[in-house]
């Protein structure tokens, strides 16, 4: 079988560099090109410390698409760039696997339609760690029986966006499994702005940013006299790689965009 040729956008970043290592060790995957905003012209293998790969870093995805033929775009960049990259992938006829946060259910559906019309598919996954996907699925199921839910997401302090993509996806999944309810005291007030966290569709989401953290989330479900806590911790970025590999492989046969890795897990 021919290897799947991949362009990695954000290749020098924390996630992108881990994806370069994944591609290097997996026989069925091949690095077609690397894109980053820094280190232009450097060899990506040397840039991420795994030795020369003879793949230079391009400054933009457009340049990379001109330089190399590819099947899949893996994107771990910034929320501001991701939709431009989806447009370029669509025009080039390649399949996106997007980990970058910032896309919600509605936006993904719009893109999905456009990819499907071109006979192309891909994956947008707010979290590629299998444990985190299970945490979201368990939380959605538990909310059917315990609808009072608060989300606490905790990340490293280099993270640009809040709330995290995982918290947004968790809220979307829980929303589908319970009626919107007003949580807390009906007359509660905030003495300090933001004390009760961000509010969306009946949810309170609390975002913690600290050095030393990687990616962690607790979903708290309260009921009379009881509390259920569902927690997931990513302790390093290798935790996301089995999910990225699965998404790249499955992207090759999909039509439209799948939003969330839970749709790729068997029963």
Ligand X SMILES: O=C(O)C1=N[C@H](C(=O)O)C[C@H](O)C1
Ligand Y SMILES: NC(=O)C1=CN([C@@H]2O[C@H](COP(=O)(O)OP(=O)(O)OC[C@H]3O[C@@H](n4cnc5c(N)ncnc54)[C@H](OP(=O)(O)O)[C@@H]3O)[C@@H](O)[C@H]2O)C=CC1
Q: Which residues bind ligand X (CB under 6 A)?
A: 101, 126-127, 155, 159, 164-166, 215
- DSSP per-residue string spanning 132-185: HHHHHHHHHHHHTT--EEEEEEEE-TT---SS-HHHHHHHHHHHHHS-----S-
By rule CB under 6 A, what string of x and - marks binding of each residue 140-159 to ligand Y? --------------------
Q: Which does 95 bind (CB under 5 to 8 A by kind): ligand Y, ligand X, none?
A: none
Q: Which strands form 4-9's sheet, in the order they lie side by side?
A: 57-58, 29-35, 4-9, 72-75, 95-98, 121-124, 256-259
Q: Are 210 and 154 in contact (CB under 8 A)?
A: yes
Q: Can residue 217 be called a binding residue for ligand Y (CB under 6 A)?
A: no
What are the structure tokens assigned to 6, written together? Answer: 């991949």
Residue closer to ligand X, measured from CB, 77 or 101: 101
State the residue for tokens 């996806």: 169
| Minimum distance of ligand Y from residue 162's CB (angstroms) | 10
- Give CA–CA dist 221/174, Å, rounded: 11
Residue from 33, 74, 86, 100 touching ligand Y (CB under 6 A): that is 100
Instruction: Tell me how many degrees the CA angle 35-14-158 measures, rounded to the nearest 5.
Output: 115
Q: Which of residues 161-200 bind ligand Y (CB under 6 A)?
A: 165
Is 85 a known active-site residue?
Answer: no
- Which contiguous run of DSSP H or E holds residue 4? strand 4-9
- Going by the DSSP 8-state scheme, the letter that residue 220 receives in this structure is E
Q: Which of residues 57-76 bind ligand Y (CB under 6 A)?
A: 76
Is 245 a known active-site residue?
Answer: no
Q: Which does 13 bind (CB under 5 to 8 A by kind): ligand X, ligand Y, none?
A: ligand Y
Q: 100: annotated binding-site residue?
A: yes
The residues carrying an active-site annotation are 155, 159
The contact set with ligand Y (CB under 6 A) reads 9-10, 12-16, 35-38, 76-79, 81, 99-101, 125-128, 165, 240
Q: Which residues are annotated as a binding site for (S)-2,3,4,5-tetrahydrodipicolinate?
A: 156, 165-166
Q: Residues annotated in the binding site, as ranges?
A: 10-15, 37, 99-101, 125-128, 156, 165-166
């Amino acid at each position: 079988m021919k290897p799947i040729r991949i362009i990695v956008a954000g290749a020098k970043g924390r996630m992108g560099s881990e994806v370069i290592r994944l591609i290097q060790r997996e026989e069925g995957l091949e690095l077609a090109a690397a894109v980053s905003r820094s280190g232009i012209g450097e060899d990506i293998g040397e840039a991420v410390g795994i030795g020369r790969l003879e793949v230079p870093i391009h400054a933009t995805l457009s340049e990379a698409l001109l330089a190399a033929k590819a099947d899949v775009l893996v994107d771990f960049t910034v929320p501001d760039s991701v939709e431009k990259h989806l447009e370029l992938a669509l025009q080039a006829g390649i399949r996106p696997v997007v980990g970058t946060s910032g896309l919600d259910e509605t936006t993904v559906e719009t893109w999905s339609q456009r990819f499907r019309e071109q006979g192309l598919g891909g994956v947008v996954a707010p979290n590629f760690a299998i444990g985190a996907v299970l945490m979201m699925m368990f939380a959605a199921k538990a909310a059917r029986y315990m609808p009072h839910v608060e989300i606490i997401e905790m990340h490293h302090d280099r993270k640009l966006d809040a709330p995290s993509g995982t918290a947004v996806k968790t809220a979307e999944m829980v929303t589908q499994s319970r009626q919107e309810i007003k949580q807390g005291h009906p007359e509660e007030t905030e003495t300090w702005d933001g004390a009760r966290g961000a509010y969306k569709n009946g949810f309170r989401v609390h975002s913690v940013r600290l050095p030393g953290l990687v990616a962690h989330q607790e979903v708290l479900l309260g009921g009379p006299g009881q509390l259920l806590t569902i927690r997931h911790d990513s302790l390093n970025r290798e935790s996301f790689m089995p999910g990225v590999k699965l998404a790249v492989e499955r992207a090759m046969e999909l039509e439209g965009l799948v939003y969330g890795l839970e749709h790729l897990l068997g029963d």
